[in-house]
Structure 1
Amino acid sequence: MTAEPLPGLDLDRLRTHLDAERPGLLAGPLTGELVQGGRSNLTYLVGDGQQRWVVRRPPLGHVLATAHDMGREFRVMSALAGTAVPVPRTHLLCQDDSVLGAPFYVMEYVPGTVYRTPQLTEQLTPHQRVELSWQLVDVLADLHSIDPDSVGLGDFGRPAGFLERQVRRWSKQLAASRSRDLDGIEELATRLAENVPATPRAGIVHGDYRLDNVIVGDDQRIRAVLDWEMATLGDPLTDLGLLAVYWEGFNGVERNPIAKGVGPEYGFPSARQLLDRYAERSGTDLSGLDWYVAFGFFKIAVILEGIHYRYIHDQTVGEGFDHVGALVAPLVAQGLATLKEE
């Protein structure tokens, strides 16, 4: 790690704030580094020579309303501590923009591997790939089985009308990040809005659940679920539809920096097998899942368009953003194709 200036993170200001809010936590001067791989909120690893922590804050510039809510992430991880869903221990939430220029929080550093590239997943044996896939599904089913009231999240969202609001919300996010014409994306949004299914049951929704949002320990067990910035109460099948898209929706896409290294082409079970595992584990009827998969394509397309917007306006940091814009149109086309298959 380095003591050099970091984009979006002033280590001296962070040290002063932590000394005031958590006296005795730090043993020495802070060093830090930007953790590569994040495509939305910025993640830093900081340390004092004896311990390490993780700091999360919104991206630099062009922050969409509600899309980078630090308080939301902090609250849901704090609430899930001690449940069957593994999460990092949370330490401090700061909503005062004067410290780092944006809200941020500090959480436990969980050692392990985030499998976000083919180079990493190819190190797994065929058996490990299968077992890790089942774990990923089982943790999601465990999350969806939690009674929100039992962990203090009964008021975390409004399940009634959740799907309708989701389509409207992501359509508004798209409008806020538009810098070019995107063939078919309005049609996809319209068809989703006109065919919203009835939610079978409400639960805690992660909002961006995939393999590269979990930390896997050396024992090949999932040690922490990360990136809760879009968590809420709503229809759990949105998580499942999105996972299916991440699992196989990018297959064959060249120079793809998103969700690469999973799915059948990399020796993992198919999305269909993951869905069957979830259905067996949770007892959920998945016969109407196509709408949720199509919505997953739409949601990721909007997210990537936002990242593309920030990239072309020099408002983000990190590597791999130059190819993100090219992924949007294929995702829209797959979303429309999924709806047409119904």
Structure 2
Amino acid sequence: MSDTPETPPGLDLARLRERLDADLPGTVTGPLHARLFEGGRSNLTYLLEDGTSRWVLRRPPLGHVLATAHDMAREYTVLAALHPTRVPVPRPLLLVEDTEVIGAPFYLMEHVDGTPHRDAAALAALGTERVHALGLHLVDTLVDLHAVDPDEVGLAAFGRPEGFLERQLRRWGKQLDASRSREVAGIDDLHEQLARTLPDSPAPALVHGDYRLDNVLVGDDDRIRAVLDWEMSTLGDPLTDVGLLVMYTELARRFDGALPGAALAPGFPTTAELVGRYAAGSGRDVSALGWYVGFASFKLAVVLEGIHYRFTQGRTVGAGFDRVGELVPLFVSFGLTSLKER
């Protein structure tokens, strides 16, 4: 397989074209080209073009991962369920679980025009009022997601909300054990403290699992056009999404350059504004949010440690993986601090 811009790693364009012509006849009308989107640290995302139309393809990473991770069918299912709702998502087009086509399961969805804001300077160019409004709109979209009735959209069996937080802690603890290649100070202490101080969850909802500004596409009118990256979505405690959003916002501000820094743009809402907006829109009690921020920090520390492990094995694609390992202690330290501030 040629490692050219037309055939990036992880795709076989000839076999892919055959499958698309069979399952979606007439959709692709010209020579098929593909490129890998930069910035992905987990599932791989490609832009497909035929000179007239554009699509997006998602597949698991090239290296070994846990059997429960990177489930293409789950992503496809949640997109299909949410597309008719108020939550903006790309329209899913095709799910292929046959690994003989490109070497892994994959799905195809429509391409949505929009900007994933990662850079503070680029976001700041919008001006403080627009930046502030976009930050609040980000929260409002999360409120809309958590207001979706899973039964009404066919997702009643999408997860097991009972005991969700306890299972999540066990799962991420196991994932940490599967990715251990070095000592990380404080990470086991963080896991143990989280287990000792489990809060009572509110009524369950559909949770995204990685909700943040650079996982949404924003149109020229500053409206969110699509929420992306649903690989961690499930039914569970909605405050896990809020804790994650707070963690990303706070860490971007405390460790400039360590994380996508859009939250550094002048006008972006403060953490208090983000949390207050969510509480007002959802009606949920957010008094235990410190625990959820600590949990988000642990989860992302484990994710990054797994990516660091794959990097040491030579099983990553793209730039920037050499510095991922440096971020893990920052997440651990912030998680421990968040638990103390409960």
What TM-score, normalized by structure 2, do the two folds share?
0.96
Whole-angstrom distance in 1 between the partners of 2:303 and 2:113:
28
Pair 123,319 (structure 1): closer, same or farther in 2 beyond 3 Å:
farther
Query: How do 1:234-253 residues align onto structure 2 when only pairs under 5 Å count?
Result: 234-253=236-255
Q: Secondary structure of the equivalent of 1:133?
A: helix
Q: CA deviation at 1:196?
A: 1.1
Q: Which moved more, 1:2-11 or 1:325-334?
A: 2-11
Q: 2:9 aligns with which of 7, 10, 20?
A: 7
User: Does residue 268 of the first structure (1) align with residue 238 of the second (2)?
Assistant: no
CA contact (8 A) 2:206 2:236 kept: yes
Query: How do 1:87-126 residues align onto structure 2 when only pairs under 5 Å count?
Result: 87-126=89-128
Whole-angstrom distance in 2 between the partners of 1:20 and 1:308:
39
User: Does residue 35 of the first structure (1) align with residue 37 of the second (2)?
Assistant: yes
Whole-angstrom distance in 2 between the partners of 1:119 and 1:96:
43
Query: How do 1:1-342 residues align onto structure 2 when only pairs under 5 Å count?
Result: 4-253=6-255, 255-256=257-258, 258-263=259-264, 266-342=266-342
Give, as a single letter, the amino acid of the residue that structure 1 aligns with 2:220: D
What is the CA deviation profile of residues 103-147 of structure 1, one whole-angstrom value per residue up to 9, with x for unaligned ones?
A: 110000001111012243232211111011011000000100111
What is the CA deviation profile of residues 181-200 of structure 1, one whole-angstrom value per residue up to 9, with x for unaligned ones?
A: 00111011011112111111
The unaligned stretches of length 5 or more in structure 2 are: none
Whole-angstrom distance in 2 between the partners of 1:291 and 1:168:
16
Q: CA deviation at 1:254?
A: 5.0
Whole-angstrom distance in 1 between the partners of 2:208 and 2:185:
29
After superposition, the CA RMSD in angstroms is: 1.3
Aligned length: 339
Q: CA deviation at 1:266?
A: 4.7
CA contact (8 A) 2:7 2:33 kept: no
CA contact (8 A) 1:295 1:335 kept: yes
Whole-angstrom distance in 2 between the partners of 1:254 and 1:316:
25
What TM-score, normalized by structure 1, do the two folds share?
0.96
CA contact (8 A) 1:3 1:30 kept: no
CA contact (8 A) 1:205 1:235 kept: yes
Whole-angstrom distance in 1 between the partners of 2:7 and 2:155:
38
CA contact (8 A) 2:16 2:101 kept: yes
Q: CA deviation at 1:250?
A: 3.1
Give, as a single letter, the amino acid of the residue that structure 2 aligns with 1:181: E
Pair 181,84 (structure 1): closer, same or farther in 2 beyond 3 Å:
same
CA contact (8 A) 1:159 1:235 kept: yes
Whole-angstrom distance in 1 between the partners of 2:267 and 2:220:
20
What is the CA deviation profile of residues 145-192 of structure 1, one whole-angstrom value per residue up to 9, with x for unaligned ones?
A: 111001000110000000000000111111111110001110110111
Whole-angstrom distance in 2 between the partners of 1:3 and 1:26:
19
Identical aligned residues as a percent: 58
CA contact (8 A) 1:90 1:108 kept: yes
Q: Secondary structure of the equivalent of 2:104?
A: coil
Q: Secondary structure of the equivalent of 1:97?
A: coil
Q: Which runs of 4+ in 1 moved over 6 A?
A: none
The unaligned stretches of length 5 or more in structure 1 are: none
CA contact (8 A) 1:45 1:53 kept: yes
